[in-house]
Amino acid sequence: MRRIIIDADTGIDDSIAILYALTSENLHVEGITTCFGNSGAGQSAENSIRLIKLSACGYDVPVVMGAECSLEGEYQSAPKHIHGENGIGNVELPESEQKPLDMAAEDFIIKKADELDGELILVTTGRLTNLAKALMKEPKLPCKIKKVVSMGGCLDTHGNVTPYAEANIYGDPRAADMVLRAGFNMILVGLDVTTKTFITAKELSDLDAYCAEKNRPMADYMQKALKHYFGFHSLTEGMTGCCFVHDPLAVLIAEDASLGEYKMLSLGAEYKSEDFRGMLLRDGRYQSTITHHEVAVCTRVDPARAIRRLFGAFQGK
Ligand code: BDR
Ligand code: CA
């Protein structure tokens, strides 16, 4: 059993990642911390709380609200054209009585890392702001966390905010730079692989046909939210009846790293230049200060296996 915290800006793909993690028999979700991004940190916490209720996972999952702005104090408006007014494709999920814990996300991460004594895996599906703040408070954190798996960045493919930058790194590049250089045992799952993995209308109809009865509420939600997400992909990428798989891939890889192939690289993130903001700096080539620490960059995944595993969880197999 892998014990994970998901640090999310709970939008549509984050929500699928969260539901998968709550359903998988191999994962125990120790908590969800939230960050600004697809919606505000407060809306992301509310979405996460409602998703926990929807999952009926059978155990308590604390939710903690995190950063509302980047380390530099920038507030960014939510991309409503992608994730809808409420971050989850305008789907109204039933309310829950659960409330976010009254503590800072970075304190929750540090506390759990100590409690779990080297067993904690942190999966980030949004900006790296909460983790950078935790690192500033507890510089020994890289030795206390088993692994960090982050959806973010692009190396050999173009970005989705600028030609050079992916949204999670672009949103707080200084936090990303700090985390990438900190010495975490880290896997980066970026656009190089997430834009080669697709959910299609076929998966949605199979989900509808084969999902276990207890998972029906989750399946119904995913149908609606993903249809909204398909709409965005159709408008911006000209993709018909499908979408990329960003955040769920990070959770799948945290659960089973054999889904991917990796290249070890010494990385940073550009945060000084406006033009190249959020670009990954690699191999000492673009790096102003050479760091010797390397992170594992996912360069290839087996998309069919990843998708089978993702939707297999809801079939109750
Ligand atoms: C990332 O940006 C967000 O919109 C998605 O949730 C994902 O985490 C993809 O670039
Ligand atoms: Ca996300």
pLDDT in tens, 153-173: 999 999 999 999 999 999 999
The CA 117 to ligand 1 mean position distance, Å, reads: 30
The mean pLDDT of 188-215, rounded to a whole number, is 94
Decide if pLDDT at 14 tops 80: yes
- For residue 293, name the pLDDT band (cuts at 50, 70, 90): confident
Which residues have a Cβ under 8 Å from the Cβ of 183 and sit 6 or more positions away? 142, 143, 293
Measured distance CA(109)–CA(187) in Å, rounded: 18
pLDDT value, residue 287: 57
pLDDT value, residue 284: 61
DSSP label of 94: P
Specify whether 9 is catalytic.
Answer: yes
pLDDT value, residue 84: 87
Four-CA torsion 132, 88, 301, 298, nearest 10 degrees? -10
Lowest mean pLDDT among 110-119, 196-205, 232-241, 269-278: 232-241
Catalytic residue among 9, 172, 192, 247: 9
Closest by CA position to 79, among listed 228, 212, 210, 206: 228
Is the minimum distance from the CB of 14 to ligand 1 under 6 angstroms? yes
Percent of the chain with pLDDT over 70: 96
The CA 69 to ligand 1 mean position distance, Å, reads: 16
The CA 153 to ligand 2 mean position distance, Å, reads: 12
pTM: 0.96
For the CA of 12, the closest atom of ligand 1 is 6
**Higher per-residue confidence, 222 vs 293:** 222
Amino acid at 212: A
In the chain, what are the domain boundaries? 2-312
The mean pLDDT of 99-126, rounded to a whole number, is 98
Is the minimum distance from the CB of 23 to ligand 1 under 6 angstroms? no
- The two tokens of residue 43 are 């809306």
Hey, which of 12, 20, 35, 151 would you mutate to test ligand 1's pocket, going by the most ligand atoms within 8 Å of its Cβ? 151
Decide if pLDDT at 290 tops 60: no
Label the pairing between strands 267-269 and 280-282.
antiparallel
Tokens 């989900």, located at residue: 207
Lowest mean pLDDT among 126-130, 175-179, 228-232, 252-256: 228-232
> 223 and 180 in contact (C-beta within 8 Å)?
no
- What CATH code is assigned to 2-312? 3.90.245.10
- For residue 281, name the pLDDT band (cuts at 50, 70, 90): very high
Which H or E run includes 219? Answer: helix 216-237
Specify whether 247 is catalytic.
Answer: no
Decide if pLDDT at 288 tops 80: no
Catalytic residue among 14, 192, 246, 247: 246
Which residues have a Cβ under 8 Å from the Cβ of 273 and sit 6 or more positions away? none
Measured distance CA(241)–CA(223) in Å, rounded: 12
The CA 308 to ligand 2 mean position distance, Å, reads: 21
Burial class (CB in 10 A: 0-12, 13-18, 19+), 293: middle
pLDDT in tens, 190-199: 999 999 999 9
Tell me the C-alpha to C-alpha distance, in Å, between residue 56 and each of 13, 48, 218, 264: 19, 13, 9, 38
The mean pLDDT of 105-128, rounded to a whole number, is 98
